[in-house]
Amino acid sequence: MVIETTIILRLTAAFTTMYLVALGHSIFEKSGILNLAIDGVFFLSTGVTTAVVVPLTWLLTARGLSLVLSTTLAALTAGLATAIIGIFMAWTLTKLPISHGAVGLSLMFLGYGLGIIAGYEVRLRVGSIRPYTYPDSLGIYLAILAITVLIGLLTYFFIFKTALGTAIRACGENPHVALALGASVLKTRLIAGLLGFFIMGVGASFFVLLWQKYWDIKTYLLGYGWLAFTIALAAGRHPIVLIPLAFMFGGLVEFSITLQARLGLQADLAKMLPFIAALILMIIYGSTKLRRIFEPPGSLGKVFYKEERTI
């Protein structure tokens, strides 16, 4: 029975991480900004989490407060840290006529660099980060799972059923027209950036706190941010459709680790699996009707210059 519980815990953690990162990314891209910073932001969040959770746990447990509180606070802090990047991206890419791809990629590298600097010393000091993560308790995991799914449902209602959510979609489809209709493209995208990157950051912090319980400066080499990117793409950035896909991919990453351990599959081949799966998912998405159903926002990645001249 112990093994089964472990599997449930790990699958839950994998799903939660993948889902929240893909969800936050989707909210942001719905507003029309191409987010190529995703992998760097993923890693930055894990670095910040590591840097924050250790001292915070010392501080709080010394006062008799529980570990769950400090880990949760660390996750929220990581969310806030990445939200700053989201706001920065939303502002620069709406206010200035510059390339989304260039800014996103730069932030990816910067995110790697900053994440390394953030977590490096703490990691050296404590050796293993495991004691500072969520305890292996089914109750806690299921509670986090429930909250995650609830956030997903709320996001769905927010995006599709409210005026502000509609404004986000409108800015993604055509910011010039959204502006002419009276929306503030800047404000709308700032909100999408704040909300999206906060959720993304919290999700990525669960990689350290809930899923792997491990952090190393070389973690940036994992590329899990790109897996989340692929999921969001194939699910058309739809909060509900994301659920099964995030579950599948979270499971696959877990499965590849198990394969390696149990069947003696060479580690590098096991690590490759999720990426091959991502490419296959892209092929399925790109070559079938899915592409039409889950079309990306019409102005995704297009430079927004308010005074654009037309003939």
Partner 1 sequence: MRFIVLRRKTIPRYHTWISTAISLILGILVYLFITILVGRSPLEVLVNIARSFISPSIVKDFFVLIAMGCALLISFKAALWNIGGEGQFYIATIPGILLTLFIFNPRHNPAPAPLVILLVALTGTIMGAFWAFIAALFRAYLKIDEVPVTLILNYVAYYILNYLIFGPFKGRYVYGYLRTDEIPEIYRLNVRVHLPMRGDPLQVALQNLTVQLAYYIALLVLAVLIYVFTWWFFKHCRIGLYTKIHGSNPSYLQAVGVSVNHIILLTMTISGALIGLTGSIYLLSELGRIPYEIERQTAGYGYLAILVSWLSLLDLKMIPFSAYIVSALRNAGIALQVAGLGGVEQSLLLIGAILLTYSITRFLVEYEVRFEW
Partner 2 sequence: MSSKVLSTSANISSAESVENVILSARNISKSFPGPVIALDRVSLDLYAGEILALLGENGSGKSTFVKILYGIYTPDHGEILMKTGRILERVTINSPADAMSKGILMVSQVPQLISKLTVAENMALTLTSLRIHGVKSLTSIKKILKIISEESEKIGIKIDPNEKVYNLTYTQKQLVEILRAMIVNAKILLLDEALTYLPLLERRKLYQALLKLKEQGGSIVIITHKISEAMEISNRIAVLRAGKIVGVVNTWETTIDQVRVMMFGEERSKQISYVKVQTINPRGEPRIIIRNLHVEDDYGREIVRGVNLTIHAGEVVGIAGISGNGQRELLESIVGLRKIKSGDIYVDNVNVKRSGVKNIRELGVSFIPDRLLEHGISPEESIVENIAACTVRNGINIPWGLIEEISRELINSYQIIAPSTKTPVKYLSGGNILKTIVAREIENAKKALIACNPTRTLDEVSAIYVRRRIREKAVNENLAVLIASEDLDEVLMVSDIIYVMNTGRLYGPLTPEAPCEDIEKLMVM
* Interaction site with partner 1 (CB under 8 A): 34, 36, 39-40, 92, 95-99, 101-103, 105-114, 116-117, 120-121, 217-218, 220-221, 223, 226, 229-230, 233, 266-269, 271-272, 275-276, 278-279, 282-283, 285-287, 291, 301, 305-307
Residues 6 or more apart whose CB falls under 8 angstroms from that of 268 comprise none
Give 60: exposed, middle or buried? Use CB within 10 Å, 0-12, 13-18, 19+.
Answer: middle
Considering CB distances under 5 to 8 angstroms, the limit depending on partner class, which of partner 2, partner 1, none binds residue 180? partner 2
Q: How far is the CB of 299 from partner 2 (least distance, A)?
A: 10
Instruction: Count other C-beta atoms under 10 Å from residue 164's C-beta.
Output: 13
Minimum CB distance to partner 1, residue 151 (Å): 24
- Residue closer to partner 1 (CB basis): 37 or 171: 37
163 binds, among partner 2, partner 1, none (CB under 5 to 8 A by kind): partner 2
Q: How far apart are CA 255 and CA 260, in angstroms?
A: 9
Q: How far apart are CA 206 and CA 20, in angstroms?
A: 9
Q: From the list partner 2, partner 1, none, which binds 164 (C-beta under 5 to 8 Å, kind-based)?
A: partner 2
Q: How far is CA 3 from CA 67, 82, 148, 210, 264, in A?
A: 24, 35, 24, 17, 19
167 binds, among partner 1, partner 2, none (CB under 5 to 8 A by kind): partner 2
Which residues contact partner 2 (rule: CB under 8 A)? 160-164, 166-167, 169-170, 173-174, 177-184, 298, 306-307, 309-311
**CB closer to partner 2 out of 98 and 138:** 98
Q: Least distance (Å) from partner 2 to the CB of residue 169? A: 7
DSSP assignments along 174-235, one per residue: -HHHHHHTT--HHHHHHHHHHHHHHHHHHHHHHIIIIIS----GGGGGG-HHHHHHHHHHHT
Q: Nearer Cβ to partner 2, position 92 or 166?
A: 166
What is the distance between the alpha carbons of residues 20 and 239, in angstroms, rounded to a whole number? 10
Shortest Å distance, C-beta 178 to partner 2: 6
